[in-house]
Chain A
Amino acid sequence: MGKIKQRFLFLILIFSLGLVNCLPSNSIGATLFLDPGNSGFKNKKIYDNWEFLGLIGDYISLPDGDYNLIFNIPRSYKLYTKISIKGDEVKVIEHKSRPEYGVTTYKVDWPKPLAKRHAKLKGVVSLTFSPVKFGRKTGVSPMISACMAGCTKRKVILRVSSKPEDAEIWIDDEKQKFTTNTTLSLPYCTYEKTKRLVLRIPQRVNYIYDIKLSPNKKIEVICELKKPSE
């Protein structure tokens, strides 16, 4: 009876710490290899609706659903690729390029990214990006002004452990100086609700987690970064 009580208390303790385990769940639809091909986009930061996912050249696991992959390219342009994942089927629904605000615009030719099964790695789908060709100048995109906002800082305490150790820690899209395993004080502005945590080791599947922000909350992330074919 005493042992059961101890285990029950241990479970309560784990949940109160906000322990997060990143072992793969059933909701994962596909493991994507973001293949730079000959595009020259290797190691560019890539986002899903501006939520950081990793770098081009990484492996990422995503649950079923639609995703709007975005990354920046030279000449102040962004490339958008809308994909749909269902099981291990990946379809490219839409792709387009867009200039940033207040920059010179060009006629842009960007072939549709290609989604196909990885030749060597079982269960992995390659999304191969093609290079962009810039044509003649077409004008200037409209300008908008950025606004500045003050910010009151709060923190969460984030314990990050990974297997293997020494994984890069990315918070939102910024690479931290620290690697796993470590305990971080993570500041945030009070208006922010979540922050995106990405753990990354090249040639392994990125771990992606949205940290729910609450003052002085202790969060423990324990994660195994697997090889794409595992």
Chain B
Amino acid sequence: MYLKLAWRNLWRNKRRTSITMASVFFAVILSTLMMSIKEGTYVNMIQSMVGSYMGYAQIHADGYWDDQNLDNSMVLNDTLIKIISSDSEIDGYVQRVETFSLAASKDVTKGAMVVGIDPVAEGKLMELDERVVEGDYLEAEDKAVLLGAGLADFLELGVGDTIVLLGQGFHGVSAAGKYLVKGLIKFGSPELSKHVIFLPLKEAQWLFGMENRCTSVILLLRDPNAATDVTQQLAAHIDSRFEVMSWETLMPELINMIETDRVEGYVFMFILYLVVSFGIFGTVLMMLAERRHEFGVLVAIGMKRVQLALVVWIEVIIISICGAFAGMIGALPVCTYFYLRPVRFGEDISKMVEDYGMEAVLQASIQPEIFVQQALIVTGIACFISIYPLIKVMHMSAIEAMRQ
């Protein structure tokens, strides 16, 4: 009954109700679009900076991360393998040997990250084979390398050329090797492509004098968002000789960057809602003033103030929710479009974004939380706004109200 009353009351003054709803619609659709694009970009950022290379979780020898040194390498023993394999949250793992070395071509030398990988595993789990842009992917027994495309450019090397690797191995042994460039590889993050060289694991272990050892084990998670939980659980089961870290620990600056950006978004949203909320409040205030007489009559003929207050509250809620709903529905198609077809940025922006190590696309997210969040905010605002009118109604004197 209250609902019916409230609904009809609202439509008595079509224009006012429509305009108020429109303002809510406006705020919601903008906020939703903004948050959706931000969240989508974050996912994209995480994927391109973490998922494609670093992995969502890693295991190292205890203390390796702070002091990244071949001497701090580990052995992937059977116990570890068993624990990892039996964890349902972990879809797979790959071993890597990672160290900094000099890479040299005929005329040019540059420092680069040499990564010893298991080509089959990396291909399956990290889809490394799909990133080859020229030449061929590695096989386990190859004595050849995959060069990052940016690095290849700098060293002026192409597929079929020879590259020399020089560095320091396990326990100080000298490492030197000559390899064929079998293929060129490209990552979403150009930074990565400028610094990386892939070598088959066996070859890397031989080169650096560390048979059976690796520097890190990358874990592939079923649910990337659960990284922290999974690593915590795992840490409990693993020997203290090892450390387990989620990507959030491995790349705190990424988290920070995301959080900051998110906060910025909230700040803007706050300002926007502030302005709109006040608009709604103003409307409600004037609505009250306009209907004083009517309220007076209702209370005089026997409607309890509480009931009247309820009707008013429902009216405010309906306006807000309908506007919010419309806003969400309006935003959905746009978000879905950008979710399915991310848009590349123009040249200038692309360059800048890529310099930060990110992929230059505009991507949206259609996580329901984003939409639900807006609905909740609007409902919260509506309730807050209603406080004043409700108080006024509860303290109204029928006779005063009818005195025009």
Q: Do A and B come from one complex?
A: no
> Which A residues form the contact surface with B (CB < 8 A)?
none
